[in-house]
Amino acid sequence: MTGPRFDPQRSDAIRTMLIDTVEQTPARDHRRHVRIVVLAILAALGIGVGSSAVAMALGGIDLFGPPAATQAAVAPATASPTPTPTPSATPTPEPHPLVVTGDPIAPRDVVSAPPATPAWTIDVPGAGDICQDPQVIDVSDGYALVQSGPTQPPEDLAYDCAPTETKLWLSFVDTRDGTVVWTREWTWPFEPTTYTTANVRVLGTSGHLLVQTVLSGAPQDADPRDVPAEVLDLASGQTLGSLDYFSEHPWDSILPIADDSGDVIAVRRTPADPHGGTGQVTVSREDPLDPSSVAWSVSVDASRVSVSTITNESSVLQISYASTDVQPHSMMKVVDIDSGAIMVEGPQDRRYLYLDGVTIRETMTGSTISSIAGIDDAGNELWSRSDDGRALQVATVTSPQAVPGAGELQTSTVMVSFADGRVEMVDGLTGESRWIVDGSTCTVNPYFEPFQRTPDGLVVQWSSGYSLEDATTSKGPTCAFTMDGEVVDVAGRPAPHPFLDSPDGWTATYELKDAWGSGGVATYKVHSPEGTVPTATVRDAVTGAVLWTRPIASDERWAFAGGYLVGLSGGTMFGIG
């Protein structure tokens, strides 16, 4: 170990040097000189002093106390320059990365009157035009696709588009602030004898987007390359590849798979034999960018076929078909969507409901449900219900959260109606009975209508039915229960979907009276009296109290796009709140 850095003799020498220096310095310079000398001596002795301390000492900033008072010099008077204003910093927008997870998107209800000026506005060609019929497609939280077209004259003969060409317009929008990420547009000659539709689908969580045009009634020699049939990159809108298959028949379809593979279930049909054959339908799993790499394929001889769309992570895919050559006509094949292995086949005796986290299998006896079961993603039975052979009815419980590609969230809760009028609430994940009560006031015929969750913790069944006279979509609540099974009177509540195109709110409902879908000039077969002023009324979803109102355009419609409330009217889309 080394000894002390300073010995007593060296310390005494330093002290004497400081005293002598101070005594020989004029009084007014004492402080400054002391500072300089101290720093110089400390530096010479190897004691580290920061550069800022040196600068303060030389500049007259006392490290040891306040400076002595001195006579200030009087400067000549000059004009003071006008200070240059400091520019305010531009707020940096919060990062909003595109993340496609398939998770439900909650609506951001606008419960207070928003400013009259929209938060943002973008052009949407055809918005408000019944011949283009724009629609919003949820992608993820804060992101949505806006589709306009393809151009198609409506059945309502009061409007004549007289188109000469068909247009399909697609734009990807950040609905937080209206930023347009990309836009694509396709145009082709209009064919009056053909009904044209365009299926735009997000392919699971792969980051790909499929655009498939279907021409119903098209000539057999129609060139599929004349219309859009391709896969796009969702982030950029660039074409990744064209589809080499094309549907000339309305029953052919391409269904997305809810995973990150980008694969689809493709249904192809060969024409029926002109001598009375049924034709063949092929159902396969394949990569739309490389159809030659078919994962599996199942073929059936059938006159018609339907394939279930799986909206959860289940691997159980049902193919139902009808053949004129075999009795009974309704047949099925249940296929493992991953491997293509046949799990069950024969007469159709079941159907599947794909809910959040669980799949419900309904076993049929004739046209009635004899039992139900909850099954896991592999098809293994978790629990079951039956009623000694008597018919059951099953209803789902929905939530206004939007599932990309699947509409409203189908929660894991299941409502079961028994033949004696009892209603049971079942936890679909475990099969646990939450309660069984008298449900005689609920609507079970012709079928057990679904229930909806409410923000105050109820499940409510609404009697639905579109009214052509006033465009309403609900006849009111039929029965309601708490989560503990208590019967609740909700007769005074506003309908969650008061009109044909009402947005799916959670804490609020949206009534667009005399606008699109409820009597406006662009409405399908429903027209308001001359001089009617279209109005939007927003109500509390529980109490029905009016939260705010505003006049709107007769061609206006509202929707939740990526969870944000937007309006469509006059060739534009705009942010409401």
Considering only CA atoms, which of 228, 225, 224 is closest in space to residue 247?
224
Range of the domain at 367: 350-505
- Cβ-contact 263, 286 below 8 angstroms: yes
What residues does 435 pair with on adjacent strands?
A: 425
Angle ∠(293,294,295) on CA atoms, nearest 5: 110
- Cβ-contact 172, 122 below 8 angstroms: no
Q: Is residue 395 part of a domain?
A: yes
Task: Look at residue 7 and give its three-state secondary structure.
Answer: coil
Phi-psi region of 370 (alpha: psi -120 to 50; beta: other; left: phi over 0): alpha
d(CA 350, CA 334) in angstroms, rounded, equals 10
- Cβ-contact 490, 482 below 8 angstroms: no
Q: Give whole-number Cα distances, 129 to 126, 235, 568, in Å.
A: 5, 28, 10
Residue in the structure block whose two tokens are 């986290």: 357
Q: Is residue 1 part of a domain?
A: no
Alpha helices in 178-244 (DSSP H): none
Residue in the structure block whose two tokens are 């079941």: 350
Cis peptide before 477 (omega within 30 of 0): no
Q: Is residue 520 part of a domain?
A: no
Q: Is residue 422 part of a domain?
A: yes
d(CA 246, CA 417) in angstroms, rounded, equals 43
d(CA 490, CA 397) in angstroms, rounded, equals 17
Residue-level pLDDT, tens digit, the chain, 577 residues: 444 444 445 445 444 444 444 444 444 344 334 343 433 444 444 444 443 333 333 333 333 333 444 344 444 434 444 445 555 555 566 778 888 898 999 999 999 999 999 999 999 988 777 788 789 999 999 999 999 999 887 766 566 677 888 999 999 999 999 999 999 999 988 887 778 888 899 999 999 999 988 777 665 555 555 788 899 999 999 999 988 655 444 447 889 999 999 999 998 877 655 555 567 889 999 999 987 889 999 998 887 889 999 999 999 999 999 876 555 568 999 999 999 999 999 999 999 999 999 999 999 998 899 999 999 999 999 999 999 989 999 999 999 999 998 889 999 999 999 999 999 999 999 999 999 999 988 988 778 989 999 999 999 998 876 554 555 666 678 899 999 999 999 988 888 887 777 888 999 999 998 887 777 765 555 666 777 889 999 999 999 999 999 999 988 999 999 999 999 998 999 999 7
CATH number of the domain where residue 437 is located: 2.40.10.480
Q: Is residue 141 part of a domain?
A: no
Looking at the structure of the chain, the number of domains it has is 1
Q: CA-based diameter of the chain, in Å?
A: 127
Question: What are 254's two structure tokens?
Answer: 């391409």
> What is the DSSP secondary-structure string of 161-185?
---SEEEEEEEEEETTTTEEEEEEE
- Cβ-contact 295, 285 below 8 angstroms: yes
> What is the DSSP secondary-structure string of 248-268?
-STT-EEEE-SSSS--EEEEE
**Helical pair 8-23 and 30-44, crossing angle rounded to 10 deg:** 150
Task: Look at residue 119 and give its three-state secondary structure.
Answer: coil
Q: Is residue 474 part of a domain?
A: yes
What residues does 99 pair with on adjacent strands?
A: none
Q: Is residue 467 part of a domain?
A: yes
Q: Is residue 574 part of a domain?
A: no
